[in-house]
Amino acid sequence: MSRRARIINPPQDLKRRALSATKGLNLELTPQELAKIETAVHKSKDKFVSQVAEKLKALRTTHHDVEKNPDLVGAYLAQLRDESLAVKGLAGTFGFHLITTMATSLNDYVLKRSEAGAKQLIVIRLHIDMLYVLLSRAQQPHGGMRAETEGELLASFKILTAKYT
């Protein structure tokens, strides 16, 4: 027979130490406080762009190796899963929403994949190339694209990934 759930009151020590009437941030951030904290995000933006560029460069090299030696595909897919998830999780914080969307598309494509043939590798390669293009235009609003182009691009990748599952 299952026992009755026990309820444990939460410790109050942290609350006592951290809540203050005079020092710290408002429970609801003011616009000034928010703007100040966001400078930390802006500070890391350039670093993010250069690190992702390095990652994409490494992926292109591995991709080239996999095309010559299909035995490497398993490790490559694992690498793609990790890298695309990391880019998906960070790009939007810096305001690069289109990069997050493209990395999400790549991550979804490789998430449960254990093999990739020639056609699937082309789909992967197109994602990497597109991420490169978007990254090079990252500082421009909407990746330097008109909203319609952005929509068409995303729709094209949706069709592409659905066709070559």
- What is the contact surface with another protein in residues (CB under 8 A)? 2-12, 14-15, 17-27, 29, 34, 36-41, 43-44, 47-48, 51, 82, 85-86, 88-94, 100, 107
* 12 vs 69 by CB, closer to another protein: 12
Q: Closest distance between another protein and the C-beta of residue 50, in Å? A: 10
Which amino acid makes up residue 22? T
Q: Which is nearer to another protein, 47 or 119 (CB)?
A: 47
Minimum distance of another protein from residue 41's CB (angstroms): 7
Shortest Cβ distance from residue 82 to another protein (Å)? Answer: 7
Q: Which is nearer to another protein, 22 or 114 (CB)?
A: 22
Residue 16 Cβ vs another protein, minimum distance, rounded to whole Å: 9
Classify residue 72 by burial, with Cβ atoms within 10 Å: 0-12, 13-18, 19+.
Answer: middle
Structure token pair of residue 114: 């254990």
Smallest separation, CB 31 to another protein (Å): 11
Q: How many other C-beta atoms are found inside a 10 Å radius of the C-beta of residue 10?
A: 7
90: exposed, middle or buried (C-beta count within 10 Å: 0-12, 13-18, 19+)? middle
Q: Which residues contact 80 (CB under 8 A, 6 or more apart)?
A: 59, 106, 107, 110, 124
With contact defined as beta carbons under 8 Å apart, do 72 and 65 qualify? yes
Nearer to another protein, 89 or 141 (CB): 89
Which one, 23 or 146, has the nearer CB to another protein? 23
Q: How far apart are CA 134 and CA 118, in angstroms?
A: 24
